[in-house]
């Protein structure tokens, strides 16, 4: 089957199933993954994994993460950092400990596999969380910012830990590299804000030029690719580089109008092409778990749902005041892009050089189906009437 035909089938079915599931109150990503599962080896066997599809998946991933970074901002971290960190601990770190312990001692996985599988299944996803916050009118509210900040911290920890686990010998380069870049990011952000009028005037002049929006968007993409390349050179996943590059692109830099146009452009590209293509390709990579793994999936899902759900529910009663604890738990428990991204990153090296420091096709499928089940469970808890207060953040 030709590449164009494969992309056509994947995109069309992913968009249809994603829209259909959204109408039933579930995340579109579930339908998009199911599209790949249906067209892939598990069901119809029409499309096989390939290096070309893998390359398209990586390009799609770059634009997904860039948009997430652009939609976030350094302000997200400054607002209620302490409470956000508490939510990160209860919704991710403590359940991660339970998942890793079970995977290591009960499932018999090695340290790397147990850790990577647990991170992939246990990490809340900023893509799903952002959609839920937007759909329930929580953008720019205190509760919405608190939840979003927590998930940003969680996803950064998860992506950073994954990079280190995949290539542990590079930890002495990766960790200092990440720390240095974070310090540099903070310095650049502070410098930009200090000279916001000049920076804004510069981009306004470019915007006013013929094809100015094209130049601005092109410069953002080139800059993000450059930062991603730097991260790859120091042995860290390009995913973090794309996110950090996007983090610097905010309305202080571009102005509210131009920033809105950039985010809308990236959002439309992601929603209509990159996201459905990425997740449908992820579905193709899945293999049907044997009966031995069915119990593993059920056990891991139960551990993540019970430990993370209960802890987040009780903590949310004390520190999240704009929504009910049920909604906060449902939003923070939602799985999606980041878990699949981590599983994909951990799965790719398996046949190359790191068979003991990555997950095989069976464990990849366990993480994929576990993510799907958790997304269905937690997203079903979210109800629009659970919004208590629409206070501005």
Helix (H, G, I), strand (E, B) or coil at 295: helix
pLDDT surpasses 60 at 352: no
Higher pLDDT among residues 16 and 251, named by residue? 16
CB 374 within 8 A of CB 335: yes
CB 331 within 8 A of CB 118: no
pLDDT reported for residue 251? 61
What would the two tokens of residue 80 be? Answer: 């209620």
Number of neighbouring beta carbons within 10 Å of residue 32: 29
What stretch of H or E contains 11?
helix 3-23
Of 309, 151, 37, 271, whose CA–CA distance to 263 is shortest?
A: 271
Question: 211: left (phi > 0), else alpha (psi -120 to 50), else beta?
Answer: left
Across the chain, mean pLDDT equals 82
Return the bridge partners of 392, or none: 141
pLDDT surpasses 90 at 167: no
How confident is the model over 18-55, as pLDDT tens digits? 889 878 767 677 788 889 989 998 899 999 988 899 89
Give me the mean pLDDT over the 166-175 stretch.
69
pLDDT reported for residue 353? 47
DSSP for 135-199, written as a single string: HTT-TTBHHHHHHHHHHHHHHHHHHHHHHHHHSGGGHHHHHHHHHHHHHHHHHHHHHHHHTHHHH
Give me the mean pLDDT over the 348-371 stretch.
70
Return the bridge partners of 323, or none: 387
Averaging pLDDT over each range in 34-48, 146-160, 206-220, 332-346, which range is the top one? 34-48
The residue behind tokens 């001692």 is 105
Q: For residue 165, what pLDDT band results from cuts at 50, 70 and 90?
A: confident
Give me the mean pLDDT over the 300-321 stretch.
92
pLDDT surpasses 70 at 17: yes
Of 128, 24, 174, whose CA–CA distance to 340 is shortest?
A: 128
pLDDT reported for residue 383? 72
Q: Which domains does the chain have, with CATH numbers?
A: 3-386 (1.20.1530.20)
- Cα–Cα distance measured from residue 10 to residue 26, given in angstroms and rounded to the nearest whole number: 20
End-to-end CA distance of the chain: 51
How confident is the model over 54-83, as pLDDT tens digits? 899 889 888 988 887 787 666 666 666 788
pLDDT reported for residue 236? 65
Of 368, 360, 382, whose CA–CA distance to 121 is shortest?
A: 368
What is the pTM for the complete model shown?
Answer: 0.75
């Amino acid at each position: 089957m030709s590449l164009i035909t494969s992309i056509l089938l994947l995109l069309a079915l992913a968009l249809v199933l994603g829209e259909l599931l959204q109408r039933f109150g579930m995340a579109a990503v579930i339908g998009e993954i199911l599209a790949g599962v249906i067209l892939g080896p598990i069901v119809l066997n029409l499309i096989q994994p390939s290096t070309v599809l893998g390359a398209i998946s990586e390009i799609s991933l770059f634009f997904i993460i860039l948009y997430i970074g652009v939609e976030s901002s350094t302000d997200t971290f400054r607002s209620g950092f302490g409470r956000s960190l508490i939510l990160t601990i209860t919704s991710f770190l403590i359940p991660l400990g339970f998942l890793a312990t079970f995977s290591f001692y009960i499932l018999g996985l090695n340290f790397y596999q147990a850790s990577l599988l647990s991170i992939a299944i246990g990490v809340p996803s900023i893509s799903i969380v952002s959609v839920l916050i937007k759909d329930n009118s929580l953008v720019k509210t205190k509760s919405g910012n608190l939840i979003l900040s927590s998930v940003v911290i969680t996803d950064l920890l998860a992506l950073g830990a994954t990079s280190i686990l995949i290539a542990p010998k590079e930890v002495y380069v990766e960790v200092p590299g990440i720390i240095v870049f974070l310090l540099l990011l903070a310095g650049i952000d502070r410098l930009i804000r200090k000279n916001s009028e000049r920076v804004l005037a510069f981009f306004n002049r470019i915007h006013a030029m013929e094809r100015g929006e094209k130049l601005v968007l092109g410069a953002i993409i080139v800059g993000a690719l450059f930062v991603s390349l730097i991260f790859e050179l120091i042995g860290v996943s390009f995913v973090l580089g794309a996110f950090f590059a996007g983090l610097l692109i905010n309305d202080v830099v571009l102005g509210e109008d131009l920033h809105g146009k950039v985010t809308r452009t990236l959002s439309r590209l992601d929603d209509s092409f990159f996201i459905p293509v990425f997740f449908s390709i992820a579905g193709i990579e899945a293999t049907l778990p044997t009966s031995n793994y069915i119990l593993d999936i059920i056990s891991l899902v139960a551990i993540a749902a019970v430990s993370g759900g209960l802890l987040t529910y009780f903590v949310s009663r004390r520190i999240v005041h704009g929504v009910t604890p049920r909604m906060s738990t449902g939003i923070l428990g939602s799985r999606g892009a980041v878990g699949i991204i981590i599983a994909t990153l951990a799965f790719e090296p398996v046949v190359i050089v790191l068979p003991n420091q990555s997950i095989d096709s069976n464990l990849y499928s366990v993480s994929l189906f576990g993510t799907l089940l958790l997304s269905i469970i937690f997203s079903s808890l979210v109800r629009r009437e659970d919004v208590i207060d629409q206070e501005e953040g």
